[in-house]
Amino acid sequence: MSRYTWLLLALLVGCSAPASDENGFNRQEAEARAQAAWEELPARLAKIKAPVFPEAAFSILDFGAQADTTFDSRPAIVAAINEAAEVGGGRVVIPNGTFQCKGPLHLKSGVALELSPNAVLRFSDRPEDYLPAVKVRWEGTVCWNWSPLIYAYQQENIGIIGEGLIEGNGKQWSTDWRKQQKPDKKRLRQMGNDVIPDEERVFANGFLDLDGDGEDDGYGDGQPHYLRPSLILFYDCDNILLEGFTAQNSPFWTIHLPFCQNVTVRQLNIYGEVLNDDGIDPDSSVDVLIEDCYIETHDDAIAIKAGRDQDAWERGPSRNIIIRNCVLNSGVNAFAVGSEMSGGVEEVFIEDCQLKAGQHALNFKTNLDRGGAVQNVFIRRIQADSLEKALFIFRMDYHGYRGNQYPTRFNDFYVNDLQCNYVGGNALQIVGVEEQPIERIWLKDIQVEEAGQPARIEQARDIVYENIQINEQKWTYDSSAE
């Protein structure tokens, strides 16, 4: 019989955890830690300052753009971005109307792309438009791939602002390529596992010219590859503002922010079309604020990431991530950490959010390839409607396991004031592995009106709780086997 037991409903006993346990982690200590962390939130927010852009405005009409879906306005938009950057920055204005863009836009330091209220920026769906290859992190592994639709590399003080629409036009592209991507995914993940130099990881059209001589530098295979690009990806950039606009129909993850610092994302509307259409993914990024957004996706609405397996262990964590006042409607997870999280995730704050639907409200997902650690996560005041599987889940068996033995460390999670109407499976599921139990979880004031099962816990220790009600019953956890 397992040393760890199923959580059971307590029909005749109260729901408060013991005041203390043999390891010293108790209800009072946990609550004090949570309170202290939330009291530090204003200081954490003060570290995140949205960039302010020069008043200079550069209308793309002045550079030859036309509000015509048969006319390619990309050369005009690129010219406006270059002009703004040359004079020290400014706002490149997309006026009202629909503008076709046959290829990527690469932002430069000091420049914000501003979408007027009735502007539509519509991208092409021809892969050959998104060359040459650029450096990205694709599902947690660094490589050279098709350019994201809007991209920046090692820039600072950049943004996308305004109330218009970015139309990714990626549904068919994504659907077709998802059927063909498996060999490339397998090859890339092996490269990451073997820590192959970044410049040798050439995908896209199998051609990479780093020195500008027009010749392949020796690592491409000259063949087409099928790793889909994100809609917006800023790589190793500082001081970012994404505000006000709507983004939809990405070929892959919608907003992906690897290795960035000082990021403000607010008042966005994001709509996905197919699987792998994550809404917002901070990835090994530091000092990130996401607030007042509406996200409706087939995949994760917001996923905090930090790279995959060996490729990420030396590349740094995601840290000081603050998410608040968002409304999320996901086909899978409203919030997720992982599964690409090998560089570590720490100091995460989530509060005052509404979750409309999905499989899970909060999913901390990994497998035994990943390694890394997730710690110091603080969550409060979450309202959830209907969830297919679980309100709150830890799992060490996420798909794609390649046979390694590097268990992730999960510790120090502080969760209070969660309300949920319906959960189809276990309301709470906390499942570690024997060599790395999940440690130190504080749960308080959680109410689930209806659940298929109260909860499940295995290979975990130091769980304290208070005032938890599931299926109109208080429950308790028998931790005597810990």
Residue with the larger pLDDT of the pair 398 and 196: 196
**Residue indicated by tokens 């504080």:** 442
Q: How far apart are CA 325 and CA 352, in angstroms?
A: 5
Question: Using an 8 Å Cβ cutoff, are 168 and 249 in contact?
Answer: yes
With residue 171 as reference, give the H or E element that holds it: helix 171-178
Which region among 22-26, 119-123, 138-142, 164-168 has the lowest average model confidence (pLDDT)? Answer: 22-26
Q: Which amino acid is at 324?
A: R
Q: How far apart are CA 160 and CA 416, in angstroms?
A: 34
Measuring CA to CA, which residue among 347, 256, 323 is closest to residue 40?
A: 347
- pLDDT confidence of 127, banded at 50, 70, 90? very high
Which region among 38-52, 155-169, 385-399, 406-420 has the lowest average model confidence (pLDDT)? Answer: 385-399
Which pLDDT belongs to residue 299? Answer: 95
Res 164 pLDDT > 90: yes
Question: Using an 8 Å Cβ cutoff, are 329 and 295 in contact?
Answer: yes
- pLDDT confidence of 433, banded at 50, 70, 90? very high
Residue with the larger pLDDT of the pair 17 and 63: 63
Q: How far apart are CA 95 and CA 107, in angstroms?
A: 18
Which pLDDT belongs to residue 479? Answer: 63
| Omega within 30 of 0 (cis) for the link into 132 | yes
- pLDDT confidence of 16, banded at 50, 70, 90? very low
Which pLDDT belongs to residue 449? Answer: 96
SS3 467: strand
CB atoms within 10 A of CB 4: 20
- pLDDT confidence of 174, banded at 50, 70, 90? confident
- pLDDT confidence of 10, banded at 50, 70, 90? very low
- pLDDT confidence of 476, banded at 50, 70, 90? confident
Res 310 pLDDT > 50: yes
Considering the domain delimited by 1-39+300-482, tell me its CATH architecture.
Answer: 3 Solenoid (2.160)
Which pLDDT belongs to residue 428? Answer: 94
Which pLDDT belongs to residue 255? Answer: 98
Instruction: Tell me the average pLDDT of the chain.
Output: 92
Share of the chain above pLDDT 90, in %: 87
First to last CA, the chain: 14
Q: What are phi and psi of 32, to 5 degrees?
A: -65, -40
Question: Using an 8 Å Cβ cutoff, are 347 and 315 in contact?
Answer: no
Residues with Cβ < 8 Å from 413, sequence gap 6 or more? Answer: 364, 377, 379, 440, 441, 442
Over residues 71-108, the pLDDT tens digits come to: 999 999 999 999 999 999 999 999 999 999 999 999 99
- pLDDT confidence of 22, banded at 50, 70, 90? very low
User: How many Å is the Cα radius of gyration of the chain?
Assistant: 23
Share of the chain above pLDDT 70, in %: 94
Q: How far apart are CA 150 and CA 302, in angstroms?
A: 19
Question: Using an 8 Å Cβ cutoff, are 301 and 266 in contact?
Answer: no
Question: Using an 8 Å Cβ cutoff, are 186 and 201 in contact?
Answer: no
Kindly state the tokens that stand for 324.
Answer: 């608040």
CB atoms within 10 A of CB 51: 18
Res 3 pLDDT > 60: no
Average the pLDDT over 314-341 and give the result: 96
Which pLDDT belongs to residue 1? Answer: 31
Over residues 229-240, the pLDDT tens digits come to: 999 999 999 999
Which pLDDT belongs to residue 14? Answer: 31
Which region among 201-205, 271-275, 442-446 has the lowest average model confidence (pLDDT)? Answer: 271-275
Which pLDDT belongs to residue 398? Answer: 81
Kindly state the tokens that stand for 427.
Answer: 């309301």
- pLDDT confidence of 478, banded at 50, 70, 90? low
